Amino acid sequence: MGTGVGSLNKQTTASTTLPAAKLHVLQLEPIKEKIGDRWPRMSLLVHSLFEKALRHAQGPQDHFMKVGELSYVVTFHGSTPEEAAIACAAIAREVCEHLFGEGVETASVRSVVGEVTPDQLGENCEAVAEFLEQTGHENVVTKSTIEMTPDQAHIAVDAKTPGHAVIEAHEFIGQLGRKLCFFPLWDLKKHTSSALILCPVALTGKNGCEPHSIHGSVAAPHGPDGILAKLELRLLRAAGEYAQRVHASHKVCAVGTGVSYDTLSSFSGRVRYITTLKEIHTSPVCPLLLKIEDIPQGVHLGRLGEIMNMATVPNVRFLLEFTDRIPDFDFRMGAAGIGAVLPDDCAAWQAESVLKSMPNRLLGQHAFGFLRGLHSAPLTRLAAHYDLRFGLGAALDGQHRYTGLEAVPDFPLSA
């Protein structure tokens, strides 16, 4: 349970207002119908999921408190009421997905968002909740829809011009003798793409237009304080900012970037990365794809699952990219996509070996399969022959490579 609302920072002047929300956990009737006699046990899980999601969504000065059996009063310092409404919607979506998966459409969450003063927050939570009911804006969110009007959309960047984080990432990697591109993640069945992955590329060489992993492309000291860790943070901010720009353009596209397993398995590296990740606000319709790269063979899958759980943030989807073939899984990892990377000089028999093993190894994961390194037409044809769902590589792209400095393209892209 979060710290009581009454213990909020009292140094804020009384005239200042801040957005607060009364977040109704669940509309009880449809949930009780589906859960039935299990509700007394399930209610504990429901509350734990909401409180975990709230901690991820709130800032360091924010607090929440349970009001009655089925409500919370939540504060969002530094956010507008519109941004607070979006945060509540994201929390609702995340919890409903955890609880009901893809099959339940009747679950709903209601939030009421408005502005309160620090003096009001010193009162009891029931009084704050009643004030919000009288003055706030109501949002009702179901599992499959988020009611978000254009006025509510959080536009942090100008849709027509590149943002500061994208420019800074280009400048930083340019000093390392490399460049950056947003590469499409292609649906090999539909020949379309509604996902872009920000990757380093070499300026010269045989596969100079091929997307690389961050650690595999820059010869610099590793470690939580090294150049590569700093580059990962810049790419993360750039990808998040570009996702906001896509959303501000009223277009739909997932935007992602990579982070190495080494960074996330290091305590200091993980803390720094997850702290930055929580500062990024994206939309459910333009989520952030976080590709964990360079996962070594023989990795402890339970530990990998723990790392993903620690980095869980609303509107972030995980992709797991293994250095060679995908391992056998003993449990569901919870990733949106699982794939491998082919070496630069990959022979057809090597690619075929990986492709043959993927269907069995992905069984029960509820994740799509993908390969990075489809840099030739024969490899692309081989991937299509084995019904690979998604691919990333120079042979697929044609002219579809983007710096993030040009106008946002129309999605879905067509190969």
Domain boundary among 118, 152, 186: 152
pLDDT the model gives residue 16: 64
Domain of 344, CATH number, reads 3.20.20.450
Query: Would you say residue 264 lies in a domain?
Result: yes
**Total structural domains in the chain?**
2
Same domain? For 174 and 275 the reply is: yes
Sequence-separated (6 or more) residues with CB below 8 Å from residue 105: 142, 143, 144
DSSP of 68-82, one letter per residue? TTTEEEEE-TT--HH
pLDDT digit string (tens) for 2-22? 333 333 333 333 346 777 777
- Domain's final residue, options 94, 117, 152: 152
The answer to whether residues 137 and 270 belong to one domain is: no
Q: Is the residue at 174 inside a domain?
A: yes
Per-chain mean pLDDT for the chain: 78
The answer to whether residue 147 scores a pLDDT higher than 70 is no
Residue 124's Cβ-side half-sphere holds a number of Cα atoms within 13 Å equal to 5
**DSSP state letter for 151:** G
Same domain for 130 and 178: no
Q: Which domain holds residue 304?
A: 164-414
Whether 48 maps to a domain, the answer reads yes
pLDDT for 366-384, tens place per residue?
889 998 988 888 888 998 8
Q: Is residue 158 part of a domain?
A: no
| Same-domain check for residues 335 and 239 | yes
Torsion of CA 395, 396, 399, 401, to 10 degrees: -100
Same domain, 91 and 206: no
Specify the pLDDT at position 182.
94
Asked if 2 contacts 64 with a C-beta cutoff of 8 angstroms, the reply is yes
Residue with tokens 């993927």: 358
Pair (147, 170) in one structural domain: no
Look at residue 206 and tell me if it is in a domain.
Answer: yes
In a domain, 222, yes or no: yes
Residues 344 and 387 placed together within one structural domain of the fold: yes
Decide which of 203 and 120 is more confident. 120
Of 92, 119, 152, the position where a domain reaches its end is: 152
How many Å apart are CA 250 and CA 410, to the nearest integer? 10
Task: Judge if 142 and 242 occupy the same domain.
Answer: no
Same domain, 194 and 312: yes
Mean pLDDT of 199-211: 65
Residues 283 and 172 in one domain: yes
| pLDDT score, position 153 | 37
**Are 181 and 145 members of one domain?**
no
Q: Classify residue 31: in a domain, yes or no.
A: yes
Domain contains 204? yes
